[in-house]
Structure 1
Amino acid sequence: MPRMGRIVLPNYPHHVVQRGHNRQVVFAAEQDYQRYVSDLRELKDVFGVKVYAYCLMTNHVHLLLAPGEAISGLGQLMKALAARATRYRNRLEGRTGTLWESRYKSSVVESDAYLLTCCRYIELNPVRARMVAEAGDYPWSSYRTRVTDQSDSDWLDMDPCFFALGDTPERRRIRYMEFMRQAVPSSELDLIRAALQRGQLTGSARFVDEIERIQGLRVELRGQGRPRRNPGK
Structure 2
Amino acid sequence: MPRANRHYVPGYIWHITHRCHKKEFLLKFAHDRNRFVFWLGEARKRYRLQILNYVVTSNHVHLLVRDQGATNCIPSAMQLLAGRTGQEYNQRKERKGAFWEDRYHATAIESGEHLLRCLVYIDLNMVRAGAVSHPEEWRHGGYLEIQGQRRRNRLLDLDALASSAGIGSLPALVDIHNEWVQEALRTNDLGRNEAWSKSLAVGSESFVLGTQDLLGAGGKSRNIVGQGDLFVLCEPEESYGADFSLKN
Global fold match (TM > 0.5): yes
Greater shift in the superposed pair: 52-61 or 214-223: 214-223
Unaligned 5+ segments in structure 1 are: none
- Structure 1 residue 156, shift from structure 2 partner: 0.5
Hey, what does 2:132 align to over in structure 1? 132
**Structure-2 change in CA distance of 1:6 and 1:32 (3 Å):** closer
| 1:1-233 matches, cutoff 5 A | 6-152=6-152, 154-157=154-157, 158-159=160-161, 160-162=163-165, 164=167, 167=169, 169-183=170-184, 193-194=194-195, 196-197=197-198, 199-217=199-217, 218=220, 219-226=222-229
- Structure 1 residue 176, shift from structure 2 partner: 1.5
Distance of 1:124 and 1:2 partners within structure 2 = 27
- Structure 1 residue 189, shift from structure 2 partner: 5.9
**Structure-2 change in CA distance of 1:151 and 1:195 (3 Å):** closer
**Structure-2 change in CA distance of 1:95 and 1:6 (3 Å):** closer
Contact 1:106–1:196 (CA under 8 A) maintained in structure 2 = yes
Identity %: 27
**Structure-2 change in CA distance of 1:103 and 1:175 (3 Å):** same
After the TM superposition, list the runs of 4 or more consecutive aligned residues in structure 1 that deviate by more than 4 angstroms. 1-5, 184-190, 227-231
Greater shift in the superposed pair: 47-56 or 154-163: 154-163
- TM-score normalised by structure 1 residue count: 0.84
- RMSD between superposed Cα atoms in Å: 2.9
The count of residues paired between Structure 1 and Structure 2 equals 227
Distance of 1:145 and 1:5 partners within structure 2 = 29
Distance of 1:128 and 1:90 partners within structure 2 = 29
Contact 1:19–1:101 (CA under 8 A) maintained in structure 2 = yes
Unaligned 5+ segments in structure 2 are: 231-244
Distance of 1:153 and 1:51 partners within structure 2 = 13
Contact 1:113–1:229 (CA under 8 A) maintained in structure 2 = no
For residues 84-109 of structure 1, the C-alpha deviation after alignment (integer angstroms, 9 at most, x for no partner) is 11111111111111100011111111
- TM-score normalised by structure 2 residue count: 0.80
Q: Which amino acid aligns with 1:222?
A: V
